[in-house]
Amino acid sequence: MLMRTDPFRDVDRLAQQVLGTMARPAVMPLDAWREGDRFVAEFDLPGVDAGSIELDVERNVLTVRAERPEVDRDKEFISTERPRGVFTRRLFLGDTLDTDRIEAQYRGGVLRVTIPVAEKAKPRKISVIDAEGNGQTAIEN
């Protein structure tokens, strides 16, 4: 399962408040939920080229990295409010997720990452054999 706390998130928020968004680009907004036997996370990445998105998994930490290109210096901008540069976000994954089968799609400025629950973590039935020979009974475990 996804862990609800991210120790880096508060540090990132503080850095944005102190340094401003031009010095430190904003973190990627995230929604995450469970959908049956899988977890889904969606990251808002408008204006990011799909080729700049990188996903890495190491020791149950999913790192998402993306880059929004710098502004064209040949143009005279009146306003540049959208953060530019490299964006990084980490998700701390529980041991019950199958990190070998992660899937990702990018459409309409939203990166959707799907992580299935590991087979070993799914509920299963265990058969109990009646040792007295009266038949078999199944119990849920």
> Per-residue pLDDT for the chain (141 aa), expressed as one digit of tens each?
555 556 666 666 555 544 544 444 556 889 999 998 999 999 999 989 999 999 999 988 999 999 988 888 888 888 877 788 888 999 999 888 999 999 999 999 999 999 998 877 667 788 888 888 765 555 555
Contact 88, 98 (CB under 8 A): no
Does residue 76 lie within any of the structural domains?
no
Helix (H), strand (E) at residue 15: helix 7-19
Does residue 6 lie within any of the structural domains?
no
Residues contacting residue 136 through CB under 8 Å, at least 6 positions apart: 127, 128, 129, 130
CATH number of domain containing 106: 2.60.40.790
pTM: 0.67
Q: Which domain holds residue 105?
A: 27-71+81-120
Contact 25, 14 (CB under 8 A): no
Does residue 140 lie within any of the structural domains?
no
- Spatial distance between the Cα atoms of 92 and 98, rounded to a whole number of angstroms: 13
Number of Cβ within 10 Å of residue 30's Cβ equals 17
Count of structural domains, the chain: 1
Structure tokens at 41: 């996370």
Does residue 47 lie within any of the structural domains?
yes
Does residue 137 lie within any of the structural domains?
no
Does residue 98 lie within any of the structural domains?
yes
Does residue 129 lie within any of the structural domains?
no
Helix (H), strand (E) at residue 13: helix 7-19
Number of Cβ within 10 Å of residue 25's Cβ equals 19
Does residue 61 lie within any of the structural domains?
yes
